A and B are shown apart, each in its own frame.
Chain A
Amino acid sequence: MTETAPRAIAIGGSAGSIEALNHLLPALHPGLAASVIVALHLPREQPSLLQSIFAPRCALAVFEAQDKEPLRAGAIYFAPPDYHLLVDAGPVLALSIDPPVHFSRPAIDVLFESAADAYGAQLTAVLLSGANSDGARGLLAVQRAGGTTIVQAPASAYATAMPQAALALLAPDHVLEPQAMAPVLNQLHSRRSL
């Protein structure tokens, strides 16, 4: 059972998080045995460039999340602008246009809380730089469901409010600089460790 249980890494970020992702995503190992699901606060009006920015630089396949899309291991999915991204049973991706949370759609709490429900202990959640408090409650939900929690070290963050809000609410498993994240994730989710 545990060998085939789906695993995932959920990542949330806001101001300054693309820079952190630049260190993190390209360093993920091609054999990663987890789906990577990313929700970033972005301007609503324009189409997201994330896929075109990251696809050429990552070993993993990079997609914009589609509604009801079954999650595959070794793939990165970005939330489209102006939609919440959730994980539903399956596990599949699900979009919604429910009202913004923390003035944000996509909201990190929405992704983390639904992913915690879907993956439980098989989830690792990473909260990056940002200037508000989105993601803290979600990270707590991940911890309560038995998942692993990682927060960007505030000193390394362009905007410290988001990591700090999380640190005020819970003691995460790891507090890391962006450069140190991929090795931990690769280790946690490598095929060999199964």
Chain B
Amino acid sequence: MPHTRRTFEIEQQLLVEAIYRRYHYDFRGYAQASLRRRLQTALARFNCETLSQLQHLVLHDAAVFPALLQYLTVQVSDMFRDPEYFLALREKVVPILRTYPSLKIWIAGCSGGEEVWSMAILLREEGLLERSLIYATDINASALQKAEAGVYDIERVPGFTDNYTRAGGAGSLSEHYSAAYGRVVFDKSLRRHVVFSDHSLATDSVFAEMQLISCRNVLIYFERPLQDRAVGLFQESLCRRGFLGLGSKESLRFSAHAAQFDEFLPGERIYQKKAQA
């Protein structure tokens, strides 16, 4: 391995360790290659030649870390992303959720909230929102703020609407937002059923018993042991026969907890916790 590569790797480990000790954000178990790419991009943004220089900034200037966090966490999301997933929830999972008197749903790694509003709209259309509480969590404070505001650029609406329709949307997406000044804002009435909070799958523990957990496109950023930790939390948090939905290219295939779940809808990456697990 060339010298510079090896040095970068050492510096990356040290930086991540420094961040953990100073700010208690734990990136130690994250997939290395994509983290490395994002750190390389961050170097240019912070005018640093090396990660050691960046580490100096991070340790000595508390204003730098929130900015660096935007590079460490990937904020890519969409409403009704992978519409088939939401269609499957609507058609196959909702009929079972209906049998519960009240519902707790956890969207882990909710980013800018697109997935949260998608879920809330789906539940409202299925007549379940009134008895539901959605916990939307992430480690990125500015993403959480954005999620809570529920405000998106109007240019994104055609894409949202297209996904909504393909996800089996029962009416018109425009019933759930109002538009002004080039933006749309999702209804306050949806927001009453959502609690936003800071929660890390790497360091925090379980906080309530859930009937459905959706954690999509988050586990791909973790190495296996951290994936196992996160799935372990989901396993602990789910009620018997509760549902776990993953991203379209994620699975429990390599997970230490795979045996505790049934493949409810393998194609849509929807799992169900076993009754005796």
> A99: shortest Cβ distance to chain B, in Å?
6
B31 engages A113 (CB within 8 Å):
no
Is the CB of B199 closer than 8 A to any CB of chain A?
Answer: no
Is the CB of A3 closer than 8 A to any CB of chain B?
Answer: no
> Given A96-B74, A96-B220, do A68 and B254 touch, yes or no (CB 8 Å)?
yes
> Given A88-B33, A110-B37, do A98 and B74 touch, yes or no (CB 8 Å)?
yes
Tell me the nearest residue of chain A to B5, going by C-beta.
A117
> Given A86-B34, A145-B5, do A68 and B224 touch, yes or no (CB 8 Å)?
yes
Question: 1/0 per position for B218-245, CB-CB distance to A under 8 A?
Answer: 0111011001000000000000000000
B38 engages A86 (CB within 8 Å):
no
A118–B76 CA distance with the chains assembled, in angstroms? 26
B33 engages A98 (CB within 8 Å):
no
A86–B223 CA distance with the chains assembled, in angstroms? 13
A120–B3 CA distance with the chains assembled, in angstroms? 11
Is the CB of B250 closer than 8 A to any CB of chain A?
Answer: yes
A117 engages B249 (CB within 8 Å):
no
A94 engages B33 (CB within 8 Å):
yes
Is the CB of A186 closer than 8 A to any CB of chain B?
Answer: no
B33 engages A114 (CB within 8 Å):
yes
Residues of chain A contacted by B31 (CB below 8 angstroms): 86, 88, 94, 96
A112–B34 CA distance with the chains assembled, in angstroms? 12
Tell me the nearest residue of chain A to B9, going by C-beta.
A117
Residues of chain A contacted by B76 (CB below 8 angstroms): 97-99
Instruction: Identify A96's interface contact among B34, B224, B251, B253, CB under 8 A.
Output: B34
Residues of chain B contacted by A67 (CB below 8 angstroms): 219-220, 249-251
Q: Count contacts between A and B, CB distance < 8 Å.
A: 67
B1-58 with Cβ < 8 A to chain A: 1-2, 5, 31-34, 36-38
Tell me the nearest residue of chain A to B221, going by C-beta.
A96
Residues of chain B contacted by A98 (CB below 8 angstroms): 34, 37-38, 74, 76
Place the interface of chain A in its size category. Answer: 20 to 34
A87–B31 CA distance with the chains assembled, in angstroms? 10
A97 engages B220 (CB within 8 Å):
yes
User: Which of A84, A86, A97, A98 has the largest count of B CB atoms less than 10 A from its CB?
Assistant: A97
Question: 1/0 per position for A69-110, CB-CB distance to B under 8 A?
Answer: 100000000001001101111000011111100000000001
> A80: shortest Cβ distance to chain B, in Å?
6
A98–B217 CA distance with the chains assembled, in angstroms? 10
A68 engages B74 (CB within 8 Å):
no
A95 engages B33 (CB within 8 Å):
no
A145 engages B2 (CB within 8 Å):
yes
B254 engages A117 (CB within 8 Å):
no
A83–B221 CA distance with the chains assembled, in angstroms? 12
Tell me the nearest residue of chain A to B222, going by C-beta.
A68
Instruction: Identify B37's interface contact among A95, A97, A113, CB under 8 A.
Output: A113
A87 engages B33 (CB within 8 Å):
yes
B249 engages A95 (CB within 8 Å):
yes
Residues of chain A contacted by B221 (CB below 8 angstroms): 96
A117 engages B74 (CB within 8 Å):
no
B253 engages A66 (CB within 8 Å):
yes
> B37: shortest Cβ distance to chain A, in Å?
7
A150–B36 CA distance with the chains assembled, in angstroms? 25
Tell me the nearest residue of chain B to A141, going by C-beta.
B5
> B236: shortest Cβ distance to chain A, in Å?
22
A114–B76 CA distance with the chains assembled, in angstroms? 21
> A141: shortest Cβ distance to chain B, in Å?
10
Question: 1/0 per position for B195-234, CB-CB distance to A under 8 A?
Answer: 0000000000000000000000101110110010000000
> Given A95-B220, A98-B38, do A146 and B2 touch, yes or no (CB 8 Å)?
yes
- Ordered by A's residue number, 6 sampled pairs between the chains whose C-beta atoms are within 8 Å are A67-B220, A86-B33, A96-B74, A98-B37, A99-B74, A146-B2
13 extra interchain contacts, Cβ-Cβ under 8 A, other than A114-B33, A145-B1? A67-B219, A67-B250, A67-B251, A69-B254, A88-B223, A94-B33, A95-B220, A96-B34, A97-B74, A99-B74, A110-B37, A113-B37, A146-B2
A-contacting residues of B (Cβ < 8 Å)?
A: 1-2, 5, 31-34, 36-38, 74, 76, 217, 219-221, 223-224, 227, 249-251, 253-254
Shortest 5 CB-CB contacts between residues of A and residues of B? A114-B33, A86-B33, A96-B34, A88-B33, A67-B220
